[in-house]
Structure 1
Amino acid sequence: MKDENIALKIVNALKNEDNLPVLEIGPGTGVLTKYLIEQYETEFYALDVDKESITYLKELYPKHANQFLFQDYLKYNVAQDRFNVIGNFPYNISSQLFFKIWDDREKVDEVVCMIQKEVADRISATHGNKTYGILSVLLQAFFDIDYLFKVAPGVFNPPPKVQSAVIRLKRNETKQLPCDERLFKRVVKAGFGKRRKTLRNALKDLNLSDSVAALPEMDKRAEQLSVQEFISLTEKIA
């Protein structure tokens, strides 16, 4: 990304009201990093799977060398009890990153990231919308989603063939769902795994009882259920 104004806008979108440590995922050549170091100094660190990137940033910011880690966030166990996430997420693994953020939901307070517009649309979609899917439900159960702004291809060199967008996720007040959270994830994934079928057919592998299979919501497709309705359905299945 070559537009410094957009980079600063992304960094400033992170509110960090509780002054938590900030983790940057995929710093690359440091387009966001310089602003993050200015704002957070020692309360900032970055992970990248590209060793050359980490080496470059350590040489560029020698005082902060120990804050750049050659690590994969998808496999990394963050030590902090609470932290924030920021980054221009690699588009090819952004969905995997969000599933990991969901796994870390008890620790992650806020996320600001630039992702492919299609993924941003999906995460922020509401029920009844064709872009509404697994990540929509899982993330909205624990985070408030703000669709901040779109980013034109022209701010990149070379310009990508896809549109980009920046979103913010803020942990909501839900500490724990009133249902089995692992089962909730299974129900959501199974429902959208066969999204053209009714939930009665899509959830067959969960060995539903006759009473659950007869519920009126089982005549609906996954995209028709709100987050709260998925939670309620999981309670009934359990």
Structure 2
Amino acid sequence: MNGFLSPHEYFRRHGGRPKKRLGQHFLTQPRTAEKIVAAAHLSPDDVVVEIGPGLGILTAHLLPLCPRLHLVELDTGLADYVEEALRHRGHGARVHRIDVLRFDWTRVAKESGRRLVLVGNLPYQITSPLMFQLLEHRRAIHHGVFMVQKEVGRRLAASPGSKDYGVLSVLLSLYGRVKALFAVAPGQFYPPPKVDSLVIRIDFPESEADLGGVDFFMLRRLVNAAFQKRRKTLANSLAGFHGLCAESLRAALRMVGIDPALRAEVLTPKDFAHLARFLAQGEA
């Protein structure tokens, strides 16, 4: 497999088994790996970060394309294995032995002199916290191609009014663009997960949409509050937000053209941005 061992061969030689606590499901199909890397549309000047190289099935396709490659791997045994494979190939890729949720995207982008391109087969349990982290560091990231749990991928790309629409749907729509690319069946992994996967691409435009200077963290708090009780009306789910009493909240919603009797799932991302800006300006 392009100089890297298959999962079966690796565990036969080294013993052990995939670690459930790390969400390890190793892609086994080189053609799918090739499609994932191709979807990133890489150029030789790109600075690429692979999240969780594992046994190197994506790495093998990245190495010929990426003179500047960073690999973020938490599993020390796999990090040792990948570093040894890189030495044999004479490639200068850097392996970061760290939890990706602690990786400093902005620092690496500044050191590299350009925004980053991300690629990875994401452990299901870290997908949502990672997306929030990437949103915070979005100015350091050009785009990313990720394999995620299919249900999670649908939520990231969901539109208002759908049952999948939620906090990340809103924020990613405002600050980026999400596109679903293709599904991957469980049988393409070792061990096979219980659900289908979805490959998605997320772009973070250098020139963001004009949100009127609304603060990202203020907006995130607002959207979180609205969706925490998604079956309740906005008048109830946002009760007490920003220190507003019930009457002031209803007045604020009406001032920005939002019916207080609506639920969060029907508001557009721009509705949330407009409300956040209005509240931050203290006009309520």
Shorter-chain TM range is over 0.9
Partner of 2:176: 143
Report if the CA contact (8 A) 1:212-1:237 is conserved. Answer: no
TM-score, normalised to structure 2, is 0.79
The 1-side partners of 2:260 and 2:44 are apart by 42
**Equivalent position to 1:233, from 275, 280, 283:** 275
Deviation at 1:16, TM superposition (A): 4.0
Partner of 2:104: 77
Letter in 2 for 1:75: R
Partner of 2:164: 131
Partner of 1:56: 81
Radius of gyration: which is bigger? 2
Partner of 1:222: 264
Deviation at 1:80, TM superposition (A): 1.2
Partner of 1:208: 244
Partner of 1:121: 154
Report if the CA contact (8 A) 1:27-1:47 is conserved. Answer: yes
Partner of 1:197: 232
Cα distance, 1:126–1:105 mapped onto 2, change above 3 Å: same
Letter in 2 for 1:213: R
Q: Is the counterpart of residue 167 in structure 1 residue 192 in structure 2?
A: no
Report if the CA contact (8 A) 2:37-2:58 is conserved. Answer: yes
Q: What secondary structure sits across from 1:80 in the alignment?
A: helix
Deviation at 1:223, TM superposition (A): 0.8
**Equivalent position to 2:51, from 12, 25, 45:** 25
After superposition, the CA RMSD in angstroms is 1.7
The 1-side partners of 2:59 and 2:74 are apart by 16
Cα distance, 1:124–1:88 mapped onto 2, change above 3 Å: same
Q: Which blocks of at least 5 consecutive residues in structure 1 are unaligned?
A: none
Cα distance, 1:142–1:16 mapped onto 2, change above 3 Å: farther
The 2-side partners of 1:235 and 1:176 are apart by 12
Deviation at 1:160, TM superposition (A): 1.2
Letter in 2 for 1:187: L
- CA-to-partner distance for each residue in 1:1-48, whole Å, 9 max, x for gaps? 1111000000000024694301011111111001111111x3111101
Report if the CA contact (8 A) 1:23-1:44 is conserved. Answer: yes
Q: What secondary structure sits across from 1:160 in the alignment?
A: coil
Report if the CA contact (8 A) 1:212-1:236 is conserved. Answer: no
Q: What secondary structure sits across from 1:149 in the alignment?
A: strand
Partner of 1:108: 141
Q: Which blocks of at least 5 consecutive residues in structure 2 are unaligned?
A: 1-26
Moved more, 149-158 or 207-216: 207-216
Report if the CA contact (8 A) 2:186-2:196 is conserved. Answer: yes
The 2-side partners of 1:220 and 1:85 are apart by 37
Deviation at 1:180, TM superposition (A): 2.2
The 1-side partners of 2:124 and 2:57 are apart by 16
The 2-side partners of 1:37 and 1:17 are apart by 12
Deviation at 1:191, TM superposition (A): 0.6
- Moved segments of 4+, more than 6 Å: none
Report if the CA contact (8 A) 1:187-1:234 is conserved. Answer: yes
Partner of 1:37: 63
Give the number of aligned pairs: 237
TM-score, normalised to structure 1, is 0.94
Deviation at 1:217, TM superposition (A): 3.1
The 2-side partners of 1:66 and 1:151 are apart by 28
The 2-side partners of 1:115 and 1:152 are apart by 12
Deviation at 1:159, TM superposition (A): 1.8
Identity %: 37
Deviation at 1:97, TM superposition (A): 1.0
The 2-side partners of 1:231 and 1:91 are apart by 29
Moved more, 9-18 or 114-123: 9-18
- CA-to-partner distance for each residue in 1:46-90, whole Å, 9 max, x for gaps? 101111111000111113366111012211213213111110001
Deviation at 1:132, TM superposition (A): 0.4
